[in-house]
Copies of this chain bind each other. A is one copy, B any other.
Amino acid sequence: MTQVALVGVGMHPFGRFEGASLKDLAREAILKAIADADIGVKDIQAVYSANAMAGLLQGQEQIRGQSVLREVGIERVPVINVENACASGSTALREGAMAIRAGSADVVLAVGFEKMFVDDRDRSLAALESAADLDIVSGLGLQFTAIYAMRLRRRLDAGTLTERHLIDVTIKSHANAALNPYAQHRTPVTAEQIRASRKIAEPLTLLMCSSICDGAAAVVLARRGKVRPAGRPDIIVRASAAGSGFTPLTPDETQTATICAQRAYAEAGLGPEDVNVAEVHDAMAPGELLYYEQLGFCGPDQAGDLLDSGATRLDGRIPVNPSGGLSSRGHPIGATGLAQVAELVTQLRGEAGARQAGQPLIALAQNSGGWIDGEPAACNVHILERTRRWP
């Protein structure tokens, strides 16, 4: 089967950028990714564009990708606009890889962008609600944060996680983000600050949660061997698994990420023990703990032990969220999935500087989006491989 390589990555920093339009954010990420791949804009043969909320926030629906590409100078090629709530970015990556595997294009750009800071903060928050089925949300009043909070509260009650675990993983996220020049929240935090910060939904406090954010991320994909920046190791997509879950709301943990991870491991012929570094979808920092178990990094109810062992720190056996994750690096919805991949490519190349997580060969990205009946509406798990041994 055709192998797909990730040959260029680019980011617009995540944060608040009042003077920058959606187009400004996207353009910077795109041009950086293309330059990083050492190709020109005319080499791009297809574009997969991810955005989640520009319809509601900027009024630009329908042709979001084209509207930003126009200023980049990419034209004539197929442009496919995708969305899948917080999993939009990884959906663009997956579809781009599919186009290459289907023989439809050799060099593809995947780009994700979001501008959540608008004139009216309430409008941003209301737009977020469209990540769930409006007919259900408007009946239940459940929001993302509340769902995370309920699942964590249940673990605290069962004694399989403690408040200290929630705080420690949040400290870790902020510490990693502090080393990441693209991150939104770059100030390390203490347990005391986390505890003292505003309660959002018990047991979550403000410093545990991702916040409104602007940003963009882009990745250039190519048929392996077609584009090979000088001196760079090949980084290929070993697996690209997707799923959705509509199981009725239950007190059990969600299953969608677990199922998608199993699909990805099967496709790659690998297991969780092979993963050297991971970016997971911690819209709330303590959510990372739940994903340890769902992705198989540890057994059921062992997330606290895994965290305590130090294995998921930058210098551990399996560093998780070296970028700082959604909660600290930032979570501009449509860009997040590609930011995860940009981070992992940087890690696999050994170019992550102060936050370099050892010498990884296998990396995993898990990106979830939306909710229906308490399960993510979309989930994508990608497994990436650096094929050349480290020197």
A interface residues with partner B (beta carbon < 8 Å) = 1, 23, 46, 52-53, 55-56, 58-64, 66-67, 69-70, 75-85, 88, 91, 94-95, 98-99, 101-104, 127, 130-135, 240, 242-247, 256, 259, 333, 369-370, 372-373, 377-378
Contact = CB atoms under 8 A, between A and B. Distances in A.
Contact of A127 (B61, B242, B333): B61
B103 A103 contact: no
A377 B23 CA distance: 16
Q: Majority SS of interface residues in chain A?
A: mixed
Given A244-B77, A377-B79, A63 B103 contact: no
The 6 A-B residue pairs with the shortest CB-CB distance in the complex, in nearest-first order: A55-B55, A78-B242, A101-B102, A75-B246, A62-B85, A63-B370
A85 B103 contact: no
Given A55-B56, A60-B133, A62-B84, 20 more contacts: A23-B135, A55-B55, A61-B83, A61-B130, A62-B83, A62-B85, A63-B83, A63-B85, A63-B378, A64-B83, A66-B246, A75-B247, A78-B242, A78-B244, A80-B94, A81-B82, A83-B83, A95-B95, A98-B102, A101-B103
Contacts of A83: 61-64, 81, 83
A301 to B, nearest CB: 25
Contacts of A70: 133, 246, 372-373
Nearest to A81: B83
A85 B67 CA distance: 12
Contacts of A79: 84, 244, 377-378
